């Protein structure tokens, strides 16, 4: 893979994640012999990616140029900005990670769980920090988001200033720290060559609802509920959790917390002083048994319908400590992540069957507000910073395009806006920005478990095929020495048809495979590959013609071997396959 800045004085800016998608944010700036990285996030698998736990950026370019990587800078502590750090550290050495206070705590916890705490230095930053990494000078400004300690990043390069907003909204009545509008406005004085601005809520007109507006609806829930209150929200939404805890204290409800990430994040946030609550308000499940339902508040994870999360287990009546009952009020204080709507609706229906009252965000009750800037706030950010060029980030393609069009409405030239994909490269050269001819590898990497090598797209394709159409296995016993079938082929099916009710179709497949293979053997010696391909092509075509479905067809070939009783050894002639005590089995 070519070096983007070799033999040039230009500065390269590119994304490995975060363009054309909402998640796995990762932006890189390269000049000469140095690369710095802004954020290192993940996305999570969904129903369309069976068995996938995480989706990571492709680190290939960074691995190839690992000696150039100087530091990783973090805007805030959400998973789509820090979740990829353990995987990145398994791939390359990062000398130092600079992150806000709460994000530092979350990152250290992640690395301790992976026994990787000594892999790198983690240094806390604030809005007064100024860090020099080779040719780059990096500073920060406070923003408002759904998590404390959220920052934008300013990077001074030899070819101009790059500013990344991180995730933000302009909330004039925030729960936590104010956005630093003065520092943002002063960026005009030094000039901003290229602005990387988030685009997640570009489709939302007006302004994002203030976080403080949510608490009024939350108080109404506490005031009216006569049973237990079960609140599901994102475990990293610390501001929301703090407000709900304050309501619990006000209405004298004791607090139970379920869900590993929720428990850990509340614990860390309390240790750092972001969540304040008397210790005696947090109780054990055993203590809850001595209280009336109207004295209990339950925090849990799982508002996206995740099958193993606490809320899903409660809905399925499989939770160890919480059984759903009439009178319970379940509050979804979160928004649906794209792709999760079906799972969320299923979860709501499950809860409703138990007589539970389910409350979600609506025009009648503000139980959630976004942490991302709506259209008018994005306009204001552009007006305050007045960048020369704009690269919209953190959004699906239509969001990025709409953000670019918004900048053009405000007077920016069309050729000064760049709607890019992961892997596209911008070159900065003495205050000008242009799209480079070069492009780097930036495919998604699918992770099952914690294996950084990922899963190939072929495996994902096979999983989708299996989940949609199932499989058909054709078992063939042959005598390769005498070039013949030993018995007629047998067919097994999983997830395709119910064999007892489709015996005729199975017999037809077996008859077809038997006839085809006998004709093939009559032509002379065969290889295992020829047998497999013949079975797969013949059976697949037949099944599609009969059923209009495409199950995965797996040929299983078992080859006869000779047994020598004198020396207790197995002899297999005219085959290159490995010796076995019964038969040589060839599977795809």
pLDDT for the residue 46 = 62
Is 584 a residue whose pLDDT tops 60? Answer: no
Q: 257-286, pLDDT tens digit by residue?
A: 998 889 999 999 999 999 999 999 999 999
Identify the pLDDT of residue 309. 87
When pLDDT is averaged across residues 209-235 and rounded to a whole number, the result is 91
- Per-residue pLDDT of 154-205, as tens digits, reads 999 999 999 999 999 999 999 889 999 999 999 999 999 999 999 999 999 9
Question: How sure is the predictor about 305, in pLDDT bands with cuts at 50, 70 and 90?
Answer: confident
Going from N- to C-terminal start, the domains of the chain cover 11-206+370-447, 211-359, 457-587
What is the arithmetic mean of pLDDT over 14-42? 96
Supply the pLDDT for residue 53. Answer: 76
**What's the average model confidence in pLDDT over 394-402?**
96
| pLDDT tens-place string over residues 111-169 | 999 899 899 999 999 999 999 999 999 999 999 999 999 999 999 999 999 999 999 99
Q: Report pLDDT for 461.
A: 63
Share above pLDDT 90 across residues of the chain, in percent, rounded to a whole number:
60
Beta bridge partners of 38: 27, 73
Q: In what order do the strands lie in the sheet with 296-300?
A: 254-258, 296-300, 229-232, 329-332, 357-359
For residue 565, the cross-strand partners are none
Question: Buried b vs exposed e over 254-266: b needs ≥16 C-beta within 10 Å?
Answer: bbbbbbeebbbbb
Tokens of 407: 């900048």
**For residue 72, what are the β-bridge partners?**
37, 97
Q: How far is CA 220 from CA 96, 224, 333, 365, 366, in A?
A: 46, 6, 14, 9, 10
Q: Do the bridges between strand 296-300 and strand 254-258 make them parallel or antiparallel, or are there none, so unpaired?
A: parallel
- Rg, Å, the chain Cα set: 29
382/370 Cα distance (integer angstroms): 20
- Tell which wins on pLDDT, 401 or 214: 401
Say whether pLDDT at 422 is over 80.
yes
Look at residue 506 in the predicted model and tell me its pLDDT.
Answer: 87
Taking all residues of the chain, what is their mean pLDDT, rounded to a whole number? Answer: 88
pLDDT score of 458: 55
Residue 363 has pLDDT above 70, yes or no: no
Enter the tokens of residue 26.
Answer: 């990762």
> Cβ distance 532 to 559 under 8 Å?
no
**Does the pLDDT at position 7 exceed 90?**
no
Find the mean pLDDT for residues 366-385: 93
pLDDT reported for residue 315: 92
pLDDT confidence of residue 552: 84
The CATH superfamily assigned to 11-206+370-447 is: Ribonuclease Z/Hydroxyacylglutathione hydrolase-like (3.60.15.10)
Predicted confidence at residue 551, as pLDDT, reads: 85
Q: Distance (Å, rounded) from C-alpha 533 to C-alpha 576?
A: 18
pLDDT bin (cut points 50, 70, 90) of residue 287 is: very high
The class of domain 211-359 in CATH terms is alpha beta
Looking at residues 31-38, what average pLDDT do you find?
97
The listed CATH number (3.10.20.580, 3.40.50.10490, 3.40.980.10, 3.40.50.1820) that belongs to domain 457-587: 3.10.20.580
Range 528-550 average pLDDT? 87
Q: How confident is the model at residue 339 (pLDDT cuts 50, 70, 90)?
A: low
């Amino acid at each position: 893979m070519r070096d983007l800045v070799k033999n040039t004085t230009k500065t390269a800016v590119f994304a490995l994640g975060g363009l054309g998608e909402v998640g796995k944010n990762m932006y890189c700036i390269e000049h000469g012999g140095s690369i710095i990285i802004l954020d290192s996030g993940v996305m999570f698998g969904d129903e369309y990616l069976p068995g996938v736990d995480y989706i990571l950026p492709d680190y290939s370019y960074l691995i190839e140029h690992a000696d150039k990587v100087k530091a990783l800078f973090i805007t805030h502590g959400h998973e789509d900005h820090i979740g990829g750090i353990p995987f990145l550290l398994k791939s390359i050495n990062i000398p130092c990670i600079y992150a806000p206070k709460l994000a530092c705590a979350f990152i250290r916890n992640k690395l301790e769980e992976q026994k990787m705490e000594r892999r790198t230095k983690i240094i806390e930053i604030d809005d007064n920090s100024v860090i020099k990494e080779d040719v780059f000078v990096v500073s920060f400004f406070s923003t408002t988001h759904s998590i404390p300690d959220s920052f934008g990043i300013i990077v001074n390069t030899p070819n101009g200033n790059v500013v990344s907003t991180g995730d933000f909204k302009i909330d004039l009545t925030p729960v936590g720290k104010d956005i630093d509008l003065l520092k943002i406005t002063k960026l005009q004085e030094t000039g901003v060559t290229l602005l990387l601005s988030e685009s997640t809520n570009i489709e939302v007109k007006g302004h994002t609802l203030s976080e403080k507006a949510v608490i009024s609806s939350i108080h109404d829930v506490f005031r009216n509920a006569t049973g237990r209150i079960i609140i599901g929200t994102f475990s990293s939404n610390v501001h929301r959790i703090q407000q709900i805890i304050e309501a619990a204290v006000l209405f004298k409800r004791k607090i139970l917390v379920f869900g590993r990430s929720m428990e850990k994040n509340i614990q860390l946030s309390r240790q750092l002083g972001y969540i304040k609550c008397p210790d005696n308000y947090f109780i054990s499940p055993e203590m809850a048994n001595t209280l009336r339902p109207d004295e209990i508040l339950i925090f849990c994870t799982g508002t996206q319908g995740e099958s193993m999360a606490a809320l899903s287990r409660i809905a399925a009546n499989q939770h160890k400590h919480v059984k759903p009952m009439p009178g319970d009020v379940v509050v979804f204080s979160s928004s649906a992540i794209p792709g999760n709507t079906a799972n969320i609706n299923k979860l709501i229906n499950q809860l409703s069957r138990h007589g539970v009252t389910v409350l979600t965000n609506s025009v009648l009750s503000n139980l959630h507000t976004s942490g991302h800037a709506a259209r008018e706030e994005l306009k204001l950010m552009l007006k305050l910073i007045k960048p020369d060029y704009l690269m919209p980030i953190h959004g699906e393609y239509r969001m990025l395009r709409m953000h670019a069009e918004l900048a053009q409405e405000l007077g920016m030239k069309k050729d000064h806006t760049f709607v890019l994909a992961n892997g596209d490269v911008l070159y900065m050269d003495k205050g000008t920005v242009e799209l480079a001819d070069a492009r780097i590898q930036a495919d998604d990497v699918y992770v099952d478990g914690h294996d950084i090598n990922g899963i190939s797209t072929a495996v994902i394709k096979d999983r989708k095929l299996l989940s949609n159409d199932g499989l058909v296995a054709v078992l063939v016993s042959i005598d390769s020495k005498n070039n013949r079938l030993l018995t007629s082929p047998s067919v097994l099916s999983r997830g395709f048809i119910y064999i007892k009710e489709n015996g005729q179709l199975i017999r037809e497949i077996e008859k077809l495979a038997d006839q085809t293979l006998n004709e093939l053997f009559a032509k002379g010696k065969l290889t295992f590959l020829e047998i497999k391909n013949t079975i797969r092509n013949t059976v697949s075509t037949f099944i599609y013609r009969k059923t209009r479905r495409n199950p995965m067809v797996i040929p299983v070939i078992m080859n006869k071997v000779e047994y020598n009783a004198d020396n207790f050894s197995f002899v297999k002639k005219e085959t290159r396959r490995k010796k076995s005590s019964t038969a040589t089995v060839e599977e795809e």
